[in-house]
Amino acid sequence: MAIVYEKSKGLTDTPFHYCPGCTHGIIHKLVAESLVELGVLGEAIGVAPVGCSVLAYEYFNCDMQEAAHGRAPAVATGIKRVHPDKVVFAYQGDGDLASIGTAEVVHAAHRGEKITTIFVNNAIYGMTGGQMAPTTLVGQRSTTSPFGRDEAHCGKPIRIAEMLATIDGAKFVERVAVNSPANVRKAKKAIKRAFECQLAGKGFAIVEVLSTCPTNWGFTPVKALEWLKDNMIPYYPLGNFRDFEEEK
Amino acid sequence: MAKVLMKGNEAVGAAAIKAGCRYFFGYPITPSSEIPEYMAKAMPEVGGVFLQAESEIAAINMVYGAGGAGARVMTASSSPGISLKQEGITYCAGAEVPCVIVNMMRGGPGLGSIQPGQADYYQSTRGGGNGDYRTLCYAPASIQEIVDYVMLAFDKADYYRNPVLVIADGMIGQMMEAVEFKDREKIELPPKDWATTGTGGKRKPNKVNSLYLQAEQLEIHNKRLQQKYKEMEENEVLYEAYGLEDAEVVCVAYGTTSRIVKSAMKLAEEKGIKTGIIRPITVWPFPYDVFKEIGPKAKGILAVEMSGGQIVDDVKIGIEGRLPVYFNGTTGGMVPTPGSILASIEKIAGGTK
Amino acid sequence: MAKGRTTFNDDACKGCELCVSVCPVKIIELDKERINSKGYSPAYVTDQEKCIACGNCAIMCPDSVITVERL
């Protein structure tokens, strides 16, 4: 009898506070499993953001620092410069990384900071109650775009993976989604590789993970997975934008 | 150790390194840019890290990361840059991350000027960012004091697990004086067993955090912080004071201004007016108690500051209404003259004898 | 003959049904007869014999409720 799947040792016993069906939980598991499988959980230092995953410091079974909104890449930089031999990661949402913290992530990438960033894109501000994010799709309704996002008024959603892939210091850039078991398996592979990029001392690594927000999208969790597939993936294409071994 | 001639801003860097600081994150701004410039050269020589951040906000958050990871770390800037750092400073205070922040103050508000100023007094002594917190704040008046108090700041930051500020006006940053790196008293410091260094699989995870969602928990945390600030108020007050017993006029000033006040006091003495001075070396905690030593001949207190009169509030708290408090100040980068201060002293004393 | 065994940490389940939606042999349902300590009807396996131990349900569970073993 073999264990096919069980809760990762990389997570604490604290139950997640996330809404039912929120895929933050899946992404947490993938990060934790990757750290354990790479044998670096004891060497890991994580940085939690401000947003729905603000309490990530309670969930990862490793040392954690809670950062100010958007500043996780700067905080992670400070940690990594002090402990270059440790595995430092930032876990950020789309308000955190793609709005208030854009400067920090761009410059962490630009310096080739040897950190791993997990960027959760669910096209909305979850924690504050469903406001428009920089990643909210055109036409998508939110509490601050009640008639749907209007491109003429506030532009099109920002594509972070594509943008960071133009920066030399970013050595691993991939966009994945967690809307199906197959895609979750691919997401796991990408997250693991983003940590390997750091372990190999290559430079900045980021995985953009398309995620759901059933509560603020106003769908059931299962319907939210479909909405992600039908609406987000066409605008945010999945795939690898930069891989460190390809540069050899 | 022999004396060496150093510029104020360079002395900040040299003293920090001497105190064991090996990480500096900063962003250039006049009149403190020589600090990152010095660190860019000096840090690699001692195996440390100098990193020019993309902004002051990023710099202070790198400080938060490095300090949280257990390192001695510093950032430096000037007034508008320090405003940007307030977010990070309140997080450091909340999460109890030790660090040292140097402010070579310039004129304000807004972009203000690049000339010397002391108008960040409120910001430096009342917390500066959101929430109930205080930061120990040294106000050196010479390059030697920069050396001494920057070094002490690192020990105090580690001792209290709190950010420590060193504020000087831009003039001190640019000035050159002979300094000596004296042997310091060794302070017993607690181990940084709270820092994020990786669990190594051997202990429970450490969390560097300022979030307490439960009201009861946050109140417990805040009460503990307040207790720590009270301890600082009891143990960390530093000042220079003389002539208080028989002074007709007592001056209160810190930093460069205190040196000009001392010149004016000599001029007053020549005119037969007895003066005294209270020079806070820590502007927080403020030396309120020393005001009790002012003798019965005093007719008034003269506060002097390169500001619109921010220190006056603390002088009023210290004197508890016993004497009138006057103010002579300059703003915008103008520096008070001994003559102008003398005129104020004469007016308070009731004219020349 | 069952190929797998699926066990649920009932009290951690939030009844989101992601596991239900990805089970290829359609043997997971919410137990509407029960309410767990969180106030949700937890997921359960209707016919353990049919489990193929693919792990899809556990992979998709955001709350690490499910353990899957291959027999």
pLDDT in tens, A142-154: 999 999 999 999 9
Contact B104, B166 (CB under 8 A): no
Give the integer Cα–Cα distance in Å for A117 and A69.
Answer: 15
Other Cβ atoms less than 10 A from the Cβ of B305: the count is 27
SS3 B171: helix
The residue type found at A30 is L
Give the integer Cα–Cα distance in Å for A87 and A7.
Answer: 22
Q: For residue A221, list chain C residues with Cβ-Cβ distance below 8 A.
A: 16-18
pLDDT in tens, C11-68: 999 999 999 999 999 999 999 999 999 999 999 999 999 999 999 999 999 999 999 9
User: Rounded to whole angstroms, what are the CA distances from C18 to A44, A142, B30, C57, C63?
Assistant: 30, 24, 57, 7, 11
C62 in A contact zone (CB under 8 Å): yes
CA-nearest of A211, A218, A204 to A236 is: A211
B103: tokens are 């402010």
Q: Do C63 and A225 touch (CB under 8 A)?
A: no
Structure confidence at residue B43 as a pLDDT band (50, 70, 90): very high
Structure confidence at residue B1 as a pLDDT band (50, 70, 90): low
Specify the CATH class of A24-247 in words: alpha beta
Neighbours of A (≥3 Cβ pairs closer than 8 A)? B, C
Residues 6+ apart with CB under 8 A from C45: C6, C8, C27, C28, C51
B312: tokens are 């006056």
The single-letter DSSP state of residue A115 is -
pLDDT in tens, B287-305: 999 999 999 999 999 999 9
A residues 223..242 contacting C (CB < 8 A): 225
Looking at residue C35, what is its pLDDT? 96
Q: Do A43 and B57 touch (CB under 8 A)?
A: no
The residue type found at B114 is I
Residues 6+ apart with CB under 8 A from B352: B271, B272, B273, B346
Q: What is the mean pLDDT of residues B52-78?
A: 98
Q: Closest-CA residue in chain A for C57?
A: A181
B43 in A contact zone (CB under 8 Å): no
Q: For residue A181, list chain C residues with Cβ-Cβ distance below 8 A.
A: 22, 54-56, 59-60
CA-nearest of A125, A105, A86, A146 to A216 is: A125
Q: Do B65 and A54 touch (CB under 8 A)?
A: no
Specify the CATH class of C4-70 in words: alpha beta
Looking at residue B18, what is its pLDDT? 97
Give the integer Cα–Cα distance in Å for A236 and A239.
Answer: 9
Give the integer Cα–Cα distance in Å for A190 and A173.
Answer: 9
CA-nearest of C59, C63, C62 to C24 is: C59
Tell me the pLDDT of chain B averaged across its residues.
97
* Domains of chain C by residue range: 4-70
Q: How far is B199 from chain A (nearest CA, A)?
A: 5
Looking at residue A166, what is its pLDDT? 98
Burial-class residue B5 by CB neighbours within 10 Å (0-12, 13-18, 19+): exposed
Residues 6+ apart with CB under 8 A from C24: C52, C54, C56
* Domains of chain A by residue range: 24-247
Q: Do B69 and A107 touch (CB under 8 A)?
A: no
**Fold held by B239-349:** Rossmann fold (3.40.50)
One digit per residue, the tens of pLDDT, for chain A of length 248 reads 799 999 999 999 999 999 999 999 999 999 999 999 999 999 999 999 999 999 999 999 999 999 999 999 999 999 999 999 999 999 999 999 999 999 999 999 999 999 999 999 999 999 999 999 999 999 999 999 999 999 999 999 999 999 999 999 999 999 999 999 999 999 999 999 999 999 999 999 999 999 999 999 999 999 999 999 999 999 999 999 999 975 54
Looking at residue B184, what is its pLDDT? 84
Looking at residue C29, what is its pLDDT? 97
ipTM of the prediction? 0.97
Looking at residue B183, what is its pLDDT? 86
> Which of 3.20.20.70, 3.40.50.970, 3.90.100.10, 3.40.50.300 would CATH assign to domain B4-192+207-235?
3.40.50.970
**Most A-contacting residue of C63, C65, C70 (CB-CB within 10 A), to test interface:** C63
What are phi and psi for residue A3, nearest 5 degrees?
A: -75, 120
Q: Closest-CA residue in chain A for B199?
A: A42
Q: Do C59 and A5 touch (CB under 8 A)?
A: yes
Looking at residue B110, what is its pLDDT? 95
Query: Does residue B352 carry a pLDDT above 80?
Result: no
Contact A69, A49 (CB under 8 A): yes
Q: What is the mean pLDDT of residues B268-284?
A: 98
Give the integer Cα–Cα distance in Å for B59 and B75.
Answer: 7
Q: Closest-CA residue in chain A for C2?
A: A1
Structure confidence at residue B236 as a pLDDT band (50, 70, 90): very high
SS3 B94: helix
